[in-house]
């Protein structure tokens, strides 16, 4: 039986990947220490998801391990020597990073180095998939000329009609400390591919989302927005008139692409993994969709100050992904994503 190691296995992507490969007949080893609860408090707690995986998957083993524990990571990889590694564990908030800079860098950059070096020593032939972020581009996408519509911004430069490509510069821009720590990890993942010949891959995610997301204000915009709507909470819109645009991709579509890469891996690759233009929406447009699905009005207030390093408009150019893996494409529409998240929150904590 093939064996896969998934870090951040109780999080959104990690848990979806764990479920996906369990269905495919793999032995799944999940590494998680519930750091999301440390970073974001009780609302970020992912133990509920860990319990689901342990109860429902046929061949899942949980490892209570912090990726900052270098010796622990080395021992784990030496013992398991998995056939594939999906590294999804992270401190994921660019807002939170400013108040916990050491935890952020030690988790995102040093933790990734720990994983890479352990993989190089004990299972160098195994594909290594790293969940990076579109924040590696910093705020440089904001320099693209924009046009303003009633409820959204969009690119006004034909060069970006399909979105941001992987060739877009990651240099000379403001990233936030989170973005900088993810850049360090992203470049290191590429380097282990190029320098050591490992089959590594950076997935620069847009808004990765789905019903299993423990969304909080500082991370997981769509999940948190839905939760606020269902609970009647006040949602804060930070700047840009609420017209800032994000592309949303369901965690299952991410898992499917990871599977495609593992089946046919490449060396030191980079992909912008997001929903593309078709699954993009502004905050104002999202309000409309969520209200239509939940039947509840959205309570929100506008804050004139935008988040530092935030994107005004961002959606991923998916042409490279589709070219390298033509059997893969977006399957879950934005409307279906919203419906699933609404239903997911209703069954969990919303009364």
pLDDT of residue 160: 98
How many beta carbons lie within 10 A of that of residue 176, not counting itself?
22
Supply 191's token pair.
Answer: 């380097």
Dump the DSSP string for 65-110. --TT-HHHHHHHHHHH--SEEEE------TTGGGG-HHHHHIIIII
CA 293 vs CA 6, 150, 180, 346: distances in Å: 33, 22, 37, 12
Radius of gyration of the chain measured on its C-alpha atoms: 19
Residues of the chain scoring pLDDT < 50: 350-351
Q: What is the DSSP string of 242-273?
A: G--EEEEEEHHHHHHHHHHHHHS--SSEEE--
Question: Looking up tokens 């998995």, which residue turns up?
Answer: 82
Which pLDDT score, from 0 to 100, does residue 41 have? 86
Pairing mode, strands 128-133 and 200-205: parallel
- CB contact set of 85 (below 8 Å; sequence gap of 6+): 4, 5, 6, 7, 115, 119, 123, 126, 127, 128, 129
What is the rounded CA–CA span in Å between residue 278 and residue 258? 21
CA distance 181 to 110: 9
Q: Please tell me the predicted confidence (pLDDT) of residue 351.
A: 45
Catalogue all structural domains in the chain, each as residue range(s) with its CATH number: 3-348 (3.40.50.720)
Q: What is the pLDDT of residue 40?
A: 84
Which phi and psi angles does 256 have, rounded to 5°? -65, -40
């Amino acid at each position: 039986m093939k064996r896969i190691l998934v870090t951040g296995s109780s999080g959104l992507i990690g848990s979806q990947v764990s479920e996906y490969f369990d269905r495919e007949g793999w032995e799944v080893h999940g590494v998680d220490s519930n750091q999301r609860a440390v970073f974001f408090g009780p609302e970020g707690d992912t133990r509920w998801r860990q319990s689901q995986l342990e109860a429902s998957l046929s061949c899942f083993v949980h490892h209570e391990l912090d990726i900052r524990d270098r010796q622990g990571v080395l021992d784990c990889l030496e013992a398991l020597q998995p056939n594939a590694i999906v590294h999804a564990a992270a401190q994921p908030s660019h807002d939170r990073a400013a108040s916990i800079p050491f935890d952020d860098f030690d988790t995102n950059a040093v933790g990734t180095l720990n994983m890479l070096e352990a993989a190089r020593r004990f299972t160098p032939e195994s594909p290594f998939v790293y969940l990076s972020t579109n924040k590696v581009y910093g705020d440089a996408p904001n320099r693209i000329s924009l046009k303003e519509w009633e409820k959204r911004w969009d690119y006004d430069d034909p060069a970006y009609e399909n979105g941001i490509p992987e060739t877009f510069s990651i240099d000379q821009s403001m990233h936030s400390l989170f973005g900088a720590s993810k850049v360090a990890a992203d470049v290191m993942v590429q380097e282990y591919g190029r320098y050591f010949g490992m089959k590594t891959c950076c997935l620069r995610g847009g808004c990765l989302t789905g019903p299993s997301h423990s969304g909080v204000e500082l991370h997981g915009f769509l999940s948190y927005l839905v939760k606020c709507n269902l609970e009647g909470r006040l949602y804060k819109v930070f700047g840009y008139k609420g017209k800032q645009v994000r592309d949303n991709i369901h965690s299952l579509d991410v898992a499917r692409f990871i599977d495609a890469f593992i089946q046919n891996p490449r060396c030191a690759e980079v992909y912008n993994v997001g929903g593309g233009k078709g699954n993009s929406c502004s905050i104002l447009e999202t309000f409309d969709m969520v209200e239509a699905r939940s039947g509840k009005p959205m309570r929100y207030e506008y804050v004139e100050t935008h988040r530092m390093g935030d994107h005004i408009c961002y959606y991923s150019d998916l042409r490279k992904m589709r070219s390298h893996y033509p059997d893969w494409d977006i399957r879950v529409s934005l409307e279906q994503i919203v419906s699933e998240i609404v239903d997911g929150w209703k069954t969990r904590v919303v009364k």
